[in-house]
Amino acid sequence: MRIQVKKLKITPKIINWLELLAKAPPKKGEGGEGGFFLAPYMEYPTCKKCKYVMQHHWRGASVHTDWRMEVNDHLVGWTVLDNPKGTPTVTTVKEARKVFNEWKSKFKFRPEKKNIGLRAETKCPSEVCDEWTYSIKGIKDGQVFIEYKNIEKLSLRTLEELARQPKVWLNVEGIVKPGEVGATKEYPGVFYIIDKGQVYFGAQKPYFHEYFIKSEKKDGVFSKKDWTRVIVRAVNVNIIDPETKKPKPGTELMWRILIPGDQTPYCLKRGMKKKWVPPKNYIPVPPEWRKGELYEKWYEWVKEQWKGGKKSKESKSELAEASFVVHYLSWMGPVHVRGIPRMRWLLRLKEGGKVRSFISDYDFTRFQPVPLTDEGYVASKWFDYEGEIKPGENPTYNPTKELNAKMKIIDKGKVNVKSEKVNGTEKLILEMKGKKLKGTFALIQEEKGSKIYTWKVEKLSNLKKAKFVLQIHEIETPEGLKKHWDVRVSDGWEFNLYGNPVELEKGEGVKAVYKRCLNIEKWMNIKKPKTKMMIGNLITYVTPIDEGDVSIIEYKPPIFISMEFHGKKLKGYYVYIEKDKEAVFKKAKLPEPLSGTGDPTTGDYYRPFKVEKKKTWDYYWLYLYDIGEFTRCVKDPEKYIPALKDRPKEVLDVLVCLYPRPGTIHGARVCGLKISEEWSVDKASEWIRKNKLHTWEGELIREQRKKTESELEKEVDSAVLKILKEIERKASEKDTEEEKLKKELLKKKLELIEKWLEVNKE
C-alpha cells in the first residue's frame, strides 16, 4: 500500500503502547502463556496537552469523519459515519473545503446537535495495514480486506489490534490516488482537516469511552472557549440484512458516538453511583471543570477508594466445577472489490448439561479488559463443535447468504466458576486451566439486566523496554566462514538476517529467520570482536555492531512482528513478515503526511519540505511552498537574498517567487530549491533551515529604469517651458523680478544638462 499525500511519501515514528499482566503465568509466549496485552482504547494518556484532529475523508460523494487522538506516543481514533444525503463528488482539498463550509448545518457530528447517535468504528493504522497488503489486499474504513486463502493467517490478528496509529496522522491533509487504499477505483481519497485542538480523556471502560475536546482552529467544528464532552458507547443491536435493511435473528456489538445533552463527566454522577474507580491518581475530569460541590464530593470519595476503601457487600456466592472452550469463528463479509473477513471469539462454560455462551469481537485470549456479550444458554452441540456453518443454519454464527462460516476450538480445559452478586450485578470469577487461558479471570456485568460483561484480570504492571543487540555471526564451514547478521532481543528471541539491516533503505528487506534464543543473556553480553561461541559442534564467531532499546509494537510470531529500534546505527521502524512460507525483515516504507499548507501568504511552509524527483534527473527539487500560489519567480534571486551568491555548489538554483498581497505590493518568498543528488534531502533541508530560507519574507523590488535621450530632452524642454511661463507671469506682475528669474532659469538649465550628461556616461 502506498498512500500519497500531495505526491509525498512518509515515515512515521511510533513508540510501544502495550502493558502486560503481572498475574499471568511467567512463561514466555503469547496470550495466557506470557501475559495479556492491554486492550485497545483502554490506555490513559500521560501527555499534559494531548492533541486531536478531525478529517473529512472523501471518496467521490461518500464522506466520513476520521477522529484521531494522541495517547502518549501513538494515536487512537474513531471513524464517525456522518454522510448527509446528496453530498456532491469531491476530488480535491479545495472542493472538500467548499463542501464543508456550505454543508456545515447538514453534518450531525457537531456540538450544537446533541443526543444524536451516529455509528462509529475503530480506526486502523496505516503502518500495520501497509505491511499486510502483500497477503491482505488492503484496508478500508478500519476493516481488513484479504483473499479467501489467507483468512486463517488473519486469525492471528483482530481488527481491534490495529487500533494504534502513528502521530504523523495529526497533520494529514491531501489526496490518495484512485485505486489505492483510502480511495476507490474511480475517485481519489481526499483528506481535509475540519478541526484540531486539545483532547482530555474521561472515563475509559471496555464498552464506554469518554473524551473532552477543545478546538484551536478559528473555524473549527468544536468550541475554542470550553470543553465539549463526547462519548462512544457499545450497544447490542440486531444484525441488519445489507440488502433489505431489515433486522435478522442474532445480535452484534456496535459502537455509537454522540455529544450528550448532559455535559457532566461520567465519574461525577453515574460513575460514582456505579462505584467506578479510575486508575490511581488519574482524574477523568478536565482541569477547568474540577470545582463545585459535585466534584468535591466525588474527589473525597475516590481518594478513599484509591486507599482501598470499603468493599461492596456480596449478596450471593456460589462455587461450581465446570468445563470451558474458546471458539474462533470466521466468515467473509460482503464482497465488493475485496472480501471483508469477520471474526468473533466465543467463551462457552459447561456446567452439568447446560452451556452458557459469551461472544466477543475481541480476541480475549490475548487482550483485556474487553467487552463480552452474554448469549445466554445455547444448545449443548455448540460446546465442542468444530467445522463449517452453512448460511441460514445460525444467523449469529453465520449471517451470510452464500458463504460458509468456520468454527474451531482454540482452547479448552477445566474451570472453577465462582458466581457473585455485587450491587445487584453478576460477577463470575473463573479459575481457568487451559493452554492459553491459565489463571484467574473475571466476567463482570455492566449493570443489572445488561447483556454486556467486562472480561478482565485485576492487576496490571508496566511493560519494561526490551534491549537489543546487532551482531555479525560467522560460522566455520568446509568452504570457509559464512556470515549473517543477528538481531537479538532480551525477551528471548532473535532474527537471523541474510543482509545488513543498517544499510536498508525504506521499503527494502532481507531474507530472515525468526527463532527463540536460549541463553539470551550470554549472547547479548558479547563485547569483543570475533568472540568464539559454540553451537553444538559448530564453531562460530560473534562481532557486536550496535545495541540499544527496542519497542515491540506488534508481536505475533511467526507471522508478523513490528518494532522500533533506538540504537546508534539500527534505528527506526522495522517489521518482520512471513508470507508464502518465506520471511523478510524490512525497514518500513509508510505514507508520510504533508504538514503545512504551503501557503506563502501565511508563511505556512511544508513540513517536511516537499520533494520532486524523476529517474532521469541527477538533481531534485525541494519545495518550501506551493508553487501554484505564486504569480511569477524573479530573474535574480541574489538581489533579494545577497547571501545566495555564496551558496554551496550543490544548490543549483533557488526560486524566489512573488505572490499577491491585496492592497499593497507583492510579497516574496523562497518557493523551492534545485539540489544536486550529491546532497541528501536531510542535508539540503538542514542547510535551508540553518539559513532560514523557509521563513524568509520579502517584497517586490521595483527597479528604476534608465531613461532614453529623447525622454531626457523632453524632460528638459518641459522644465524650460515651465520656467519661461513663470518668467512671463512674474514679469507681467513685477518688472523688478525679471533679472532674478533669468538667473534661476540659467541655473535650472545647467542642472538638467549636467544630469543628462551623467546618466548617458553610465
DSSP result, 273-332: HTT--PSTT---S-GGG--SHHHHHHHHHHHHHHTT-PPPPEEEEEEEEEEEEEEEEEEE
CA dist list (Å): 450 to 359, 447, 561, 760: 14, 5, 38, 98
Average the pLDDT over 139-144 and give the result. 34
pLDDT in tens, 182-226: 778 888 889 999 999 999 999 999 899 999 999 999 889 999 999
Of 411 and 338, more confident: 411
Confidence of residue 728 (pLDDT cuts 50, 70, 90): low
β-strand pairing of 367-368 with 37-38? parallel
CA dist list (Å): 203 to 207, 322, 350, 668: 11, 35, 34, 50
The reply to whether 550 falls in a domain is yes
Number of domains composing the chain: 5
| Residue whose cell numbers read 474458546 | 326
pLDDT in tens, 299-348: 999 999 888 765 555 455 567 889 999 998 887 644 333 334 577 899 99
Q: Which of 255, 259, 285, 289 shows the shortest CA–CA distance to 272?
A: 285
CA distance 180 to 138: 9
Say if residue 53 is in the same domain as residue 184.
yes
* Amino acid in position 371: P
Provide the residue range defining the domain that includes 685: 610-699
- The fraction of the chain above a pLDDT of 90, given in percent, is 42
List % helix, strand, coil for the chain (3-state, nearest 5).
Answer: 20, 40, 40
β-strand pairing of 438-445 with 452-456? antiparallel
Mean pLDDT of the chain: 79
The reply to whether 748 falls in a domain is yes
Whether 567 and 546 have beta carbons less than 8 Å apart is answered as yes
Residue 50 φ/ψ, nearest 5 degrees: -70, 145
The pLDDT of residue 132 is 30
* Amino acid in position 182: G
CA distance 139 to 413: 36
Cα-based angle 550, 552, 555 (whole degrees, multiple of 5) = 145
The reply to whether 730 falls in a domain is yes
Of 189 and 547, more confident: 547
CA distance 643 to 635: 16
Rg over alpha carbons for the chain, rounded to the nearest Å, is 35
Say if residue 86 is in the same domain as residue 216.
yes
CA distance 670 to 688: 10
The reply to whether 115 falls in a domain is yes
Confidence of residue 227 (pLDDT cuts 50, 70, 90): very high
Q: Is the pLDDT of residue 443 over 60?
A: yes
Of 423 and 648, more confident: 648
Give the alpha-carbon dihedral of 542, 548, 549, 551, to 10 degrees.
-60
The pLDDT of residue 157 is 31
pLDDT in tens, 493-529: 899 999 999 999 877 899 999 998 888 999 999 999 9
Q: Which of 229, 264, 299 is a domain's end point?
A: 264
The reply to whether 298 falls in a domain is no
Say if residue 247 is in the same domain as residue 98.
yes
Say if residue 510 is in the same domain as residue 523.
yes
Say if residue 451 is in the same domain as residue 470.
no
The reply to whether 3 falls in a domain is no
Question: Which cell numbers hold the place of 389?
Answer: 456453518
Say if residue 224 is in the same domain as residue 259.
yes
Whether 178 and 205 have beta carbons less than 8 Å apart is answered as no
The pTM (predicted TM-score) of the whole model is: 0.56
Say if residue 79 is in the same domain as residue 195.
yes
List residues bridging with 432 in a β-sheet: 415, 439
CA dist list (Å): 352 to 380, 534, 743: 10, 56, 131
